[in-house]
Structure 1
């Protein structure tokens, strides 16, 4: 799997203005912890159970003093009523310049892995703070809401706390905003203020490391035999293009610039990058069950593993779904020198897309067929759910547009029956696999317990079989000789 993204700097905002804090300092402008709009009425709503009890007891004592004629009891009642009100006014008028910030490490994690969230509170005022209670909002999928208590923060001081989050489900989860709760020393009143900044934790699918096998009929990602000579021999035969930011000025073609009226540069010999399309079937009708161990999650994880593997082999990878939506990988415009950086960016884009991909409402693969028929050549790796006769014939025709094609058909019936029952029953997808092999695909039926890494390893050099994760061998009669 690609290396996780570097942890972003601390991000935060003051609880009143919402302005973002810098990496090492508080937010500009007032960061008042207790003086937010809402007035004294909002502060009175922050009375705790103790404060309300003191008010009730004071009112009862004053009422009893009139009934019983006891002036001393009246003074006691007034004192009980005054204490929580004084605490409310004091807390309301207290001004703290407090900046909160958050850092994720890392911001992109695979499902089932932990990420660390570090919170930082900076006191930018000239007064020490009182008792501060911090609470960060996190989705229930990531665990309970973390809470911390800070006793006292000196002027210009800083406090850092951290917690960990973990999710078995892929997706994008918001973290924040951070809540700051202020309390008086007697515990009569508590005021809660929320910061405005939040961060997003991206949980990407689990991936497997695939063996660097050589698929029959496949070309390498970058090869000496796959170069296009775009700059011809003569000066008059130069193929120019428009100037782009960062181009070397020594490549400016002045004759073409004068002809077209804009700055033009010479195209030089560029390596042509081989392409790979990863087709992911997201039709709800093609899968049964849900959860981390469902057939659809297996397909998403396998698509992510394949995309990362092919990017590592310098392929230009694009992700295609049954709806026809395409997420392009890196093109070869930057040349071989920028291949690694482009692959890293493409890997991040593909993983972010697969982190949130869900079931589509469609029931056909015709949109994906139209995209493949538009002229894309290269390796096609497909992960498909259950297919009816119409969709099976459509997938069989997809093979004719690609130089090499590998398809994994998930046996929905075996998945719904469970792993143990699936090992004893004959897979219903065998007939579909046979039809696809006759059409030129390298096809394999995937059942519960199979691991993509072992299935992939069996594809090297047109081998005769693939070994499933549950100790099952998938035999290939025609697939490797005619396609991959």
Structure 2
């Protein structure tokens, strides 16, 4: 819910600007009055002159009266909600209040909205008494991500005869944020995760209190199971081990935004599927307590964000707002390779690594292989560019094309859990495949390819990946 307000008066300019507000009816009356006056002079008809002066004076009087009217009108706008997924409507409420001492005439309201959200909403309000208020609302929706300005509100005043209309624009506006669609994902244990870590989180020493000492002397009430016998023998007194506490599981999500790696555009394009997949994965992991960082091929996009550790559900969970706002505006990059993303991963072990890749060439596969060595478990969703170009009707059940199958094999040999993505693929099913089949869907022809030596070593190399992801 958000809102804004402002105060406006129907006085966009001076008297010259007010004459510019003459309607077609007003201009017609003025032209007819002038014509009648000219004809009365040529024909010598005094009665015709009086008719002409009446026709010409009526629109002029309406302009002056409307121009001198001093309405003071306040507006406010509310969005419920202000952040919505694609293809979901939001309600926009407008409230107009007459804060002057005079009642208004007929008010015509028009709110400015981008063409993506549909036509501009228009409303006609009858007389508003002094101190009175009127409320109207409309709905907007968008199939495209982005930040869309709403407003400012335009107010039109007209005289009772329809001779003149004056427009006043308020100064306030609001922003509607349309974020990627978030799909609920099933809890899984990613293939390649190291077993034996309990809930999958690494453990680190406590960082506060006397427990920082390694080791420390025995205190009354300490559990005898914590006695460190080697240190006890060295110091000649009972010594206990330091306490340990779980460290938050870490995850890095990589989004390949290279323009050359994605073909097509629009809500049903491969790139939009990848953006939605990143949003769904990030929300899913953060709700399960992961610390999530978003990377693109150009480098870090969102700093590491701590998860909620709960199951609040939906795109509005605590901590997901900044990440979803960034994904709402992410666009194609002009990058040629994934080297900047790899440089961002060189600092150390990143725990779970999830990549959403477009078309990968040999160099991209090599860089992805080096990324794998900087992470624990690694899952790659590789979009089949050729299939997305043909569309669902063209792809059918022909399976993964040979070039993509070769890249998937190389990624799996490097230790990735690689999954091909074709048009119409459901992310929850692919996410479940990473747990059920080790990253190879049952109908994937690449599953028949001989596995490299590294295919059997991934189960024992991952560290720091969370269970039940």
TM-score tier (shorter) = 0.7 to 0.9
| Partner in structure 2 of residue 354 of structure 1 | 327
Q: How does 1:85-484 map to 2 (within 5 A)?
A: 85-218=60-193, 226-233=203-210, 271-331=246-306, 344-422=317-395, 423-424=397-398, 426-427=400-401, 428-460=403-435, 463=438, 465-466=440-441, 475=447, 482=458
Secondary structure in structure 2 of the residue aligned to 1:180? strand
After superposition, the C-alpha distances for 1:424-472 in whole angstroms (9 at most, x for unaligned) are: 26423110000010011111111112111001112226647436xxx76
CA distance in structure 2 between the partners assigned to 1:273 and 1:364 by the alignment: 31
Which sections of structure 1, spanning at least 5 residues, go unmatched?
Answer: 1-6, 16-32, 238-267
Q: Does 1:14 align with 2:7?
A: yes
Q: Whose Rg is larger?
A: 2
2:320 partner SS: helix
TM-score, with structure 1 as normaliser: 0.81
Measure the CA separation in 1 of the matches of 2:46 and 2:252: 89
Q: What displacement does 1:232 show?
A: 4.9
* Aligned residues of 1:464 and 1:480 also touching (Cα < 8 A): no
Q: Quickly say closer, same or farther: Cα 1:216–1:234, change in 2 above 3 A.
A: closer
For residue 404 of structure 1, report the CA deviation from its aligned partner: 0.9
8 Å contact kept, 1:221–1:314: no
**Deviation of residue 330 (structure 1)?**
2.3
SS at match of 2:210: coil
Which has the larger displacement, 169-178 or 471-480? 471-480
* Residues 234 and 474 (structure 1), Cα distance of their counterparts in 2 relative to 1, 3 Å cut: closer
| Cα pair 1:329 1:346 within 8 Å, conserved | no
Aligned to 1:78: 53
Greater CA drift, 457-466 or 283-292: 457-466
Superposed CA RMSD: 2.7
Deviations 1:12-53 (A, max 9, x none): 1112xxxxxxxxxxxxxxxxx2234x2111111100000001
Give the whole-Å Cα distance in 2 for the aligned partners of 1:464 and 1:45.
68
| Distance (whole Å) between structure 2 residues aligned to residue 270 and residue 117 of structure 1 | 47
Query: Which whole-Å CA distance do the structure 2 matches of 1:442 and 1:377 have between them?
Result: 16
2:11 paired with 1:35? yes
Q: Extract structure 1 runs of 4+ deviating beyond 6 A.
A: 219-224, 234-237, 471-474
Q: Distance in 2 between matches of 1:101 and 1:11?
A: 5
TM-score, with length taken from structure 2: 0.84
- Tell me if the contact between 2:192 and 2:378 (Cα under 8 Å) persists in the aligned partners: no
Aligned-pair distance for 1:187? 0.4
Question: Structure 2: how far apart are the matches of 1:439 and 1:123?
Answer: 69
Q: For residue 460 of structure 1, give the secondary structure of its aligned residue in structure 2.
A: helix
Question: C-alpha displacement at 1:387, in angstroms?
Answer: 1.0
How far apart, CA to CA, are the structure 1 residues paired with 2:135 and 2:123?
A: 10
1:148/1:234 CA distance change after superposition, 3 Å = closer
Counterparts of 1:100 and 1:155, CA distance in 2: 15
Q: Give the Cα–Cα distance (whole angstroms) in 2 for the partners of residues 300 and 415 of structure 1.
A: 15
Query: Contact between 2:391 and 2:423, CA under 8 Å: does it hold in 1?
Result: yes
Give the Å deviation of 1:112: 0.7
Other structure's SS at 1:328 match: strand
Note the alpha carbon deviations across 1:52-105, whole angstroms, 9 max, x for none.
011100100110111000111111111111111110011011111100111111
